[in-house]
Amino acid sequence: MSNPFLKQVFNKDKTFRPKRKFQPGTQRFELHKKAQASLNAGLDLKLAVQLPPGEELSDWVAVHVVDFFNRINLIYGTIGDECTEQSCPVMSGGPKYEYRWQDEHQFRKPTALSAPRYMDLLMDWIEVQINNEELFPSHVGTPFPRNFLQVVKKILSRLFRVFVHVYIHHFDRIAQMGSEAHVNTCYKHFYYFVKEFGLIDTKELEPLVSRAGPHRE
């Protein structure tokens, strides 16, 4: 599902975290190839995100979550050297939106952090989730847990915050690289996917809905 244009624009060496790949021969690998083929063929993004006939929703969602994690890592990695403790002391999306970090270990209460610190904790946390065989089983026939979609919603809502921060605070850098159109495409793909399956509350999407770049609805 990786957009060939993104590969041309972004240096793979700057990927924020190593990619998780699907094992050849597994059902999820075949779904990954099917989704990638739809994107590469230029299929309308609203159609490309729809669940293929005969496929399980959890499998389709799992494939996309891992792919979005990889691609958003790549996007953030390209502006990471400009997102510092000094430039971004608060993880935010402009003056109206501040995102605080909370987890089950170090930060049990929502805590204000710098953007790079927040991103570091976020990517570590997501990486643990998607590599947890009990949450994201890699073997065909292994059932997903009952709380799978609940975990997915949390992952995707937090990944969306990366888009918000990049668009509002670092879009000049994206534009300078000539990659605005490709980041917009990635965002639209993400947006249509979460809307198709109701994976992020509409209210949470508000920071970017009014932006002419990524999306108007």
Please check whether residue 14 is in contact with residue 78, taking contact to mean a CB–CB distance below 8 angstroms.
yes
DSSP state for residue 22 in the 8-state scheme: P
| Angle between helix 180-196 and 57-79 (nearest 10) | 150
The answer on whether 64 is annotated among ligand-binding residues is: no
**Confidence at residue 29, expressed as pLDDT on a 0 to 100 scale:** 59
- At 84, the amino acid letter reads T
Mean pLDDT per 10-residue segment, the chain (217 residues): 42 48 56 60 79 90 91 90 95 93 91 96 93 85 92 97 95 89 89 95 86 39
Please check whether residue 134 is in contact with residue 145, taking contact to mean a CB–CB distance below 8 angstroms.
yes
State the Cα–Cα distance between residues 179 and 194, nearest whole angstrom.
23
Per-residue pLDDT of 188-214, as tens digits, reads 999 999 999 999 999 999 999 755 333
**Confidence at residue 194, expressed as pLDDT on a 0 to 100 scale:** 96
- At 159, the amino acid letter reads L
The answer on whether 186 is annotated among ligand-binding residues is: no
**Confidence at residue 169, expressed as pLDDT on a 0 to 100 scale:** 95
Q: What residues does 111 pair with on adjacent strands? A: 101
Q: Kindly compute the dihedral angle of the four CA atoms of residues 67, 150, 134, 126, in this order, to the nearest 10 degrees.
A: 50
Q: Which of 108, 77, 33 is nearest to 173 (CA)?
A: 77
**Confidence at residue 1, expressed as pLDDT on a 0 to 100 scale:** 41
Superfamily holding 61-216: MOB kinase activator (1.20.140.30)
**Confidence at residue 151, expressed as pLDDT on a 0 to 100 scale:** 96
The answer on whether 170 is annotated among ligand-binding residues is: yes
Q: What are phi and psi of 21, to 5 degrees?
A: -110, 155
Q: Which of 194, 212, 173, 214 is nearest to 9 (CA)?
A: 173
Please check whether residue 66 is in contact with residue 20, taking contact to mean a CB–CB distance below 8 angstroms.
yes
User: CA angle 187-66-216, nearest 5°?
Assistant: 15
Q: Where are the domains of the chain?
A: 61-216
Helix (H, G, I), strand (E, B) or coil at 68: helix
**Confidence at residue 7, expressed as pLDDT on a 0 to 100 scale:** 44
**Confidence at residue 41, expressed as pLDDT on a 0 to 100 scale:** 52
